[in-house]
């Protein structure tokens, strides 16, 4: 291609335990919007960070035009005209708009001090070029709306006169109208010859904004195609298609009686909207959806971490009015979450301490506790759950991710929990440990515990759930029983396309 | 349009930020002037200004550190260290001005070590500077064998008594240091980095800024401010005092918080701190003039400090409640 401005060859990036990028080739032309798409963990953010110099790849080459480059930091990439608009904003709340745009590159006056007037003039010019001159450059960015902050981020990126811009999930936090105006601005940038890498998983946007799409899966490039040569179904296939039959085993089970029900449950921030779900005794219910669809927020809401904004929550037939984790745990609900390190375990404490800390009171209603009995109880759980630890006094930080997750399970089991919420239970765990966790879930459900599983790994949801709810944009957009829908159909619902095949 | 109304709300926010301190200050002045007819004299007000000088300089330093979401617990010990070092070196035969310069440089060096440990070692400032506090206190004690050390020099008297257009020299010095601090905070790169360290460290990293250099500069500058406070204190006491600065770091934190700088998010500034310090000084001065025994005075000042910190914490909790999170 004559106008290719950026090429990567065989980029490989490894993190401990995962190959985040496996020999990825990619190219970008000037004046195009090239969409990078893939499931969570497919490697799209990693690739964009390699291009931005934030990650240094273990293998492969990057070319700007014909020249080979290697970036040691984001600063190197910036100097070569590669700028980013990050998903998480990088603005400093109590510096004003102009100060943020020119942060650390402030224009100086003849005394060597910052020339605020010039800085504000230049900032204004940049914002005008984005048709955003209504933003007051003297206002601390803290007081701007999210969309305005994003415009400031774009202005900041533009101030480097980039030839290449990377947008990482730019619409995740915007309203529809704001998305439209963002797209108008991106098109304008494109017309000026800037090459744009657009990282996203919102399929409904692709046709509006993209020229070409590169699909990544498990760190590998699946294909690069022109946007008008591919349909949504084909894309979904490329993103999720894989063999899932071996890893998952779910026993036949009969469900008796409802243990959890929500009626038009909403949170206060509008991230969970009028959700109706039920969970029966002995059932595994999966909630599928992309990051930002409101799954984790729903779990937090049910577990009482976030306050209820509207609707009702019933646990074992009893309405929970003022929800709080303390109350919910008392009702026999436990949560195993993605971030075990922060919310599940005291990492510096022993397996023993973590297992019995929440349940000591029930084992020992009187004042004194018996060390011998604790050892018995904990040893029993360690055996039952097959926690690989040399002894129960080992600190949890020395265990692998899968074994840490088992200790979290032991904690809830010892507290007589019979409803479990699993939020991304297998993230960051290797396949072997995953299979053990799945087997454990199957066993628990068969024994009569109820499990609500939230996961962004679609195969996991499909493989383990007796019933699946599909979430998009805070709402339940579909429900199906085990085996009713294919991965493609569920994937399409998650992405908000072709959604009428099985809407509840 | 929206931005405009928000500009207004920012101004009201700003105005709302200052008054509590001013109100309490005015309230105190009223109470004290009713309690004592000595209070409302001009001489007493100059007196209050002069009294506030040493803490004022330390509080400017503390404000910078708090803006980066840190706390420097070694500031008080730095003051003691400077008073001791200056006298000690002069006694050892160095010219008094050279000794003063060495003391200032030593204090800045101590600060830069703090900055290095905090940024390079990724040690919480609270812990790093607590260690430094103990080290400095110990050095001061060793240099003085635990007692005050004295020399006679006319410079001390001149500095404390000199006036320019009716206003004491030390007040002018403080005003000058305020200007310098203000310029650093609002007119230099370092100032923007201070707000960045407190507000969004990620932003600094992504801008390719190594966090070590700015941290060293900030703590070294804090050391400079503190050393000036130490020199003025020495002149006033005409001696080197190994424990004179003990506890000033906390009064400086209190003044900073009273002045509207927050312990998080890099929110606040140097202007409010002036009022925070004045409030504390007026309180002390008023309690003295009204004849409240000094044994009670510390309790009252402690209460004010606690209140200021509790108010900050409450404000934070209310804010996170508004955002809808219970944890």
- Write out chain A residues lying below 8 Å of B183, CB-based: 113
Confidence of residue A504 (pLDDT cuts 50, 70, 90): very low
Q: CA end-to-end span of chain A, whole Å?
A: 48
Alpha-carbon gap, residue A349 to A329, rounded angstroms: 22
- Write out chain B residues lying below 8 Å of A75, CB-based: 207-208
- Compute the CA torsion angle B308, B309, B310, B312 (nearest 10 deg): 90
- Cβ count near A330 (within 10 Å): 11
* Best residue of A56, A92, A304 to probe chain B, by most B CBs closer than 10 Å: A92
Cβ–Cβ under 8 Å, residues A334 and A417: yes
Q: CATH 3.40.50.300 region(s) of chain A?
A: 4-240, 258-495
The minimum CA-CA distance between B274 and chain A, rounded to whole Å, is: 20
Q: What is the pLDDT of residue A430?
A: 60
The minimum CA-CA distance between A267 and chain B, rounded to whole Å, is: 9
Residue with tokens 């020229």: A211
**C-alpha angle A376-A281-A479 in degrees, rounded to nearest 5:** 130
- Write out chain B residues lying below 8 Å of A138, CB-based: 7
* Nearest-CB residue to B206 (from A90, A143, A268): A90
Alpha-carbon gap, residue B40 to B30, rounded angstroms: 9
Q: CA end-to-end span of chain B, whole Å?
A: 35
Q: What is the pLDDT of residue A453?
A: 92
Inform me whether the C-beta atom of residue B316 falls under 8 Å from chain A C-beta atoms: no
> Which tops the pLDDT comparison, A415 or A279?
A279
CB pairs under 8 A between A and B: 105
Q: What is the pLDDT of residue A370?
A: 81
* Best residue of A97, A104, A133 to probe chain B, by most B CBs closer than 10 Å: A104
Residue B3 and residue A134: Cβ atoms within 8 Å?
Answer: yes
Burial class of residue B144 (count of CB atoms within 10 Å of its CB; 0-12, 13-18, 19+): buried
Q: What is the pLDDT of residue B93?
A: 92
* Nearest-CB residue to A103 (from B2, B4, B192): B192
- Res. B52: pLDDT tops 80: yes
Give per-residue pLDDT as tens, A70-126: 998 888 898 899 999 876 668 898 899 999 999 888 999 988 899 999 999 999 999
- Write out chain B residues lying below 8 Å of A90, CB-based: 200, 202-203, 206-207
Token pair of B281, please?
């000084």
- Write out chain A residues lying below 8 Å of B327, CB-based: 305, 325
- Write out chain B residues lying below 8 Å of A136, CB-based: 3-4, 6-7
Give the up-direction half-sphere exposure of residue B318: CA atoms within 13 A in the CB hemisphere. Answer: 6
Alpha-carbon gap, residue A483 to A95, rounded angstroms: 54
Alpha-carbon gap, residue A337 to B107, rounded angstroms: 48
Residues of chain A that touch chain B, judged by Cβ-Cβ distance less than 8 Å: 54, 73-76, 78, 84, 86, 88, 90-95, 99, 103-104, 106, 113-114, 116, 134-136, 138-140, 142-145, 148, 267-269, 304-307, 309, 324-325
Confidence of residue B114 (pLDDT cuts 50, 70, 90): very high
DSSP B133-191: HHHHHHHHHHHHTTS-EE---HHHHHHHH-EETTEEHHHHHHHHHHHHHHHHHHHSHHH
Query: Does some domain include residue B302?
Result: no
Confidence of residue A1 (pLDDT cuts 50, 70, 90): very low
The minimum CA-CA distance between B247 and chain A, rounded to whole Å, is: 30
Percent of chain B predicted with pLDDT > 70: 87
The residues, any chain, with a CB within 8 Å of residue A44's CB and separated by 6 or more, are A36, A37, A38, A199, A216
Inform me whether the C-beta atom of residue B92 falls under 8 Å from chain A C-beta atoms: no
Stretch A323-352: mean pLDDT: 80
Give per-residue pLDDT as tens, B256-311: 988 888 877 788 889 889 988 998 898 888 888 878 888 888 888 788 767 766 76
Give per-residue pLDDT as tens, A147-188: 888 889 999 999 999 999 999 888 877 777 788 888 998 999
Burial class of residue A154 (count of CB atoms within 10 Å of its CB; 0-12, 13-18, 19+): buried
E-assigned strands of chain B? Answer: 149-150, 163-164, 167-168, 239-240
**C-alpha angle A154-A78-A117 in degrees, rounded to nearest 5:** 55
Burial B153-192 (b: 16+ CB within 10 A, else e): eeebeebbeeeeeeebbbbebbeebbeebeebbbbbbebb
- Res. A270: pLDDT tops 90: no
Burial class of residue A349 (count of CB atoms within 10 Å of its CB; 0-12, 13-18, 19+): middle
A322: closest chain B residue by CA:
B326
Q: What is the pLDDT of residue A331?
A: 87
- Res. A207: pLDDT tops 70: yes
* Nearest-CB residue to A106 (from B4, B189, B265): B189
Q: What is the pLDDT of residue B156?
A: 93
* Nearest-CB residue to A104 (from B10, B207, B266): B207
Q: What is the pLDDT of residue A41?
A: 66
Pick the CATH number of A258-495 from 1.10.340.30, 3.60.15.10, 3.40.50.300, 2.30.30.60: 3.40.50.300
CATH of domain A4-240: 3.40.50.300
DSSP A73-105: SHHHHHHTTEEEE-SS----TTSBHHHHHTTT-
DSSP A184-213: HHHHHHHHTT-EEEEE---HHHHHHH-SEE
Inform me whether the C-beta atom of residue B10 falls under 8 Å from chain A C-beta atoms: yes
Residue B326 and residue A304: Cβ atoms within 8 Å?
Answer: yes
Cβ–Cβ under 8 Å, residues A81 and B184: no
Residue A90 and residue B202: Cβ atoms within 8 Å?
Answer: yes
Q: What is the pLDDT of residue B323?
A: 43
Q: What is the pLDDT of residue A488?
A: 82
A96: closest chain B residue by CA:
B192
* Nearest-CB residue to B187 (from A95, A113, A267): A113
* Nearest-CB residue to A95 (from B192, B206, B326): B192
Inform me whether the C-beta atom of residue B202 falls under 8 Å from chain A C-beta atoms: yes
Q: What is the pLDDT of residue A125?
A: 93
- Compute the CA torsion angle B278, B284, B285, B291 (nearest 10 deg): 160
Among the listed residues A130, A144, A133, A134, the one whose alpha carbon sits nearest the alpha carbon of residue A94: A144
Query: Does some domain include residue B267?
Result: no
How many domains, in total, are found in chain B? 1
- Res. B223: pLDDT tops 90: yes
Alpha-carbon gap, residue B112 to B220, rounded angstroms: 5
Alpha-carbon gap, residue A379 to A392, rounded angstroms: 7
- Res. A478: pLDDT tops 50: yes
Please give the model's pTM, rounded to 2 decimal places: 0.69
A105: closest chain B residue by CA:
B189
Query: Does some domain include residue B213?
Result: yes
* Nearest-CB residue to B188 (from A78, A113, A138): A113
Alpha-carbon gap, residue B254 to B25, rounded angstroms: 14
- Res. A501: pLDDT tops 50: no
- Res. A444: pLDDT tops 80: yes
Token pair of A389, please?
């630890």
Token pair of B70, please?
């840190």
Give per-residue pLDDT as tens, B154-187: 999 999 999 999 889 999 999 999 999 999 998 9
Domain with B204, as residue range(s), is 46-245
Q: What is the pLDDT of residue A275?
A: 92
Residue B189 and residue A99: Cβ atoms within 8 Å?
Answer: no
Token pair of A82, please?
């590669």
Residue A136 and residue B7: Cβ atoms within 8 Å?
Answer: yes
Q: What is the pLDDT of residue B324?
A: 39
Alpha-carbon gap, residue A95 to A103, rounded angstroms: 9
Query: Does some domain include residue B305?
Result: no
How do A308-315 and A258-267 pair as beta strands?
A: antiparallel
* Nearest-CB residue to A104 (from B2, B6, B192): B192
Residue with tokens 């900055």: B115
The minimum CA-CA distance between A76 and chain B, rounded to whole Å, is: 8
Inform me whether the C-beta atom of residue B11 falls under 8 Å from chain A C-beta atoms: no
Q: What is the pLDDT of residue B179?
A: 95
Give per-residue pLDDT as tens, B9-47: 555 555 555 556 676 777 778 887 787 777 777 778 888
Stretch A418-440: mean pLDDT: 78
Name A61's bridge partners.
Answer: A9
Confidence of residue B239 (pLDDT cuts 50, 70, 90): very high
What is the average pLDDT value for chain A, to the nearest integer? 85
Number of H helices and E strands in chain B, helices first, is 14, 4
Burial A395-426 (b: 16+ CB within 10 A, else e): bbeebbbbbbbbbbbbbbbbbebbbbbbbbbb
Query: Does some domain include residue B155?
Result: yes
Q: What is the pLDDT of residue A37?
A: 87
Token pair of A62, please?
């990057």
Query: Does some domain include residue B11?
Result: no
State which H helix or E strand residue A37 sits in: strand A33-37
Cβ–Cβ under 8 Å, residues A146 and A171: no
* Nearest-CB residue to A140 (from B10, B203, B208): B10
Residue A143 and residue B10: Cβ atoms within 8 Å?
Answer: yes
Range of weakest confidence among A21-25, B5-9, B232-236, B243-247: B5-9
Q: What is the pLDDT of residue B21?
A: 67
CA-based Rg of chain B, rounded to a whole angstrom? Answer: 20
Q: What is the pLDDT of residue B8?
A: 55
Stretch A486-497: mean pLDDT: 82
Name B315's bridge partners.
Answer: none
Among the listed residues A184, A164, A219, the one whose alpha carbon sits nearest the alpha carbon of residue A15: A219
Alpha-carbon gap, residue A215 to B213, rounded angstroms: 41
Alpha-carbon gap, residue B244 to A499, rounded angstroms: 74
Residue B203 and residue A92: Cβ atoms within 8 Å?
Answer: yes
């Amino acid at each position: 291609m004559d106008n290719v401005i950026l090429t990567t060859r065989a980029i490989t990036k490894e993190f401990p335990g995962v190959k985040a990028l496996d020999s990825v080739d990619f190219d970008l032309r000037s004046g195009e919007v090239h969409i990078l798409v893939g499931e969570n963990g497919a490697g799209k953010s990693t690739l964009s960070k390699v291009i931005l110099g934030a990650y240094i790849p273990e293998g492969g080459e990057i070319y700007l035009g014909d020249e080979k480059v290697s970036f040691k930091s984001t600063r190197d990439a910036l100097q070569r005209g590669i700028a980013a608009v990050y998903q998480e904003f990088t603005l400093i709340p109590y510096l004003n708009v102009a100060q943020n745009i020119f942060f650390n590159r402030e224009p100086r006056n003849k005394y060597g001090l910052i020339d605020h007037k010039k800085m504000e003039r230049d900032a204004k010019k940049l914002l005008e070029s984005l048709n955003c001159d209504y933003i007051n450059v003297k206002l601390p960015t803290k007081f701007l709306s999210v969309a305005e902050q994003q415009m400031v981020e774009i202005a900041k990126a533009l101030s480097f006169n980039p030839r290449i811009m990377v947008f990482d999930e730019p619409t995740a936090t915007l309203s529809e109208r704001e998305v439209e105006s963002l797209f108008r601005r991106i098109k304008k940038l494109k017309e000026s010859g800037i090459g744009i890498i657009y990282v996203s998983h919102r399929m409904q946007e692709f046709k509006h904004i993209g020229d070409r799409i590169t699909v990544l899966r498990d760190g590998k490039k699946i294909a690069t195609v022109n946007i008008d040569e591919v349909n949504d179904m084909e894309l979904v296939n490329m993103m999720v298609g894989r063999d899932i039959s071996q890893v998952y085993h779910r026993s036949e089970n009969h469900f008796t009686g409802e243990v959890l029900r929500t009626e038009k449950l909403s949170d206060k921030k509008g991230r969970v909207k009028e959700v109706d779900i039920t969970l029966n005794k002995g059932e595994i219910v999966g909630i599928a959806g992309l990051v930002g669809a409101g799954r984790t927020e729903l779990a937090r809401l049910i577990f009482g971490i976030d306050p209820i904004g509207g609707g009702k929550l019933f646990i074992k037939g009893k309405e929970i009015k003022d929800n709080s984790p303390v109350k919910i745990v008392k009702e026999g609900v436990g949560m195993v979450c993605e971030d075990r390190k922060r919310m599940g375990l005291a990492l510096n404490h022993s397996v023993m301490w973590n297992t019995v800390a929440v349940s000591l009171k029930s084992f020992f209603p009187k004042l004194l506790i018996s060390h011998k009995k604790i050892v018995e109880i904990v040893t029993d759980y360690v055996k039952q759950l097959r926690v690989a630890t040399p002894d129960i006094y080992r600190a949890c930080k020395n265990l692998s991710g899968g074994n840490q997750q088992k200790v979290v399970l032991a904690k809830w089991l010892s507290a007589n929990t019979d409803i479990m919420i699993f939020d991304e239970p297998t993230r960051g765990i290797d396949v072997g440990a995953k299979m053990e966790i799945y087997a454990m879930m199957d066993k628990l459900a068969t024994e009569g515990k109820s499990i609500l599983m939230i996961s962004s790994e679609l195969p996991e949801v499909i493989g383990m759930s007796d019933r699946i709810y599909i979430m998009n944009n805070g709402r339940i957009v579909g429900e199906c029983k085990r085996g009713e829908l294919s991965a493609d159909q569920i994937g399409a619902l998650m992405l908000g396309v072709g959604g009428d095949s099985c809407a509840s | 349009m929206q931005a405009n109304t928000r500009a207004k709300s920012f101004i009201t926010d700003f105005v709302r930020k200052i008054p509590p301190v001013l109100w309490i200050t005015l309230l105190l002045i009223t109470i004290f002037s009713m309690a004592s007819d000595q209070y409302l004299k001009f001489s007493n007000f100059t007196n209050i200004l002069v009294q506030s000088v040493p803490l004022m300089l330390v509080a400017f330093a503390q404000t910078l550190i708090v803006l980066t979401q840190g706390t420097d617990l070694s500031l008080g010990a730095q003051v003691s260290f400077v008073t001791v070092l200056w006298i000690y070196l002069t006694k050892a035969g160095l010219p008094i001005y050279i000794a003063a310069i060495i003391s200032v440089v030593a204090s800045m060096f101590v600060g830069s070590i703090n900055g290095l440990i905090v940024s390079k070692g990724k040690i919480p400032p609270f812990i790093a500077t607590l260690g430094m506090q103990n080290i400095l206190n110990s050095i001061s004690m060793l240099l003085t064998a635990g007692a005050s050390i004295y020399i006679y020099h006319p410079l001390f008297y001149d500095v404390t008594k000199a006036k320019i257009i009716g206003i004491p020299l030390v007040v002018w010095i403080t005003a000058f240091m305020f200007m310098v601090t203000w310029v650093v905070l609002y007119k230099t790169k370092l100032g923007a980095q201070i707000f960045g360290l407190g507000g969004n460290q990620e932003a600094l990293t992504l801008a390719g800024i190594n966090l070590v250099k700015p941290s060293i500069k900030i703590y070294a500058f804090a050391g400079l401010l503190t050393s000036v406070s130490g020199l003025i204190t020495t002149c006033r006491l005409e001696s080197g005092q190994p424990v004179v600065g003990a506890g000033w770091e906390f009064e400086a934190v209190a003044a900073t918080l009273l002045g509207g700088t927050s312990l998080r998010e890099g929110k606040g500034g140097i202007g409010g701190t002036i009022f925070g310090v004045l409030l504390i000084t007026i309180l002390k001065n008023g309690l003295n003039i009204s004849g409240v025994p000094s044994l009670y005075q510390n309790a009252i000042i402690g209460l004010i400090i606690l209140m200021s910190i509790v108010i900050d914490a409450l404000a934070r909790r209310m804010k996170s409640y508004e955002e809808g999170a219970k944890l």
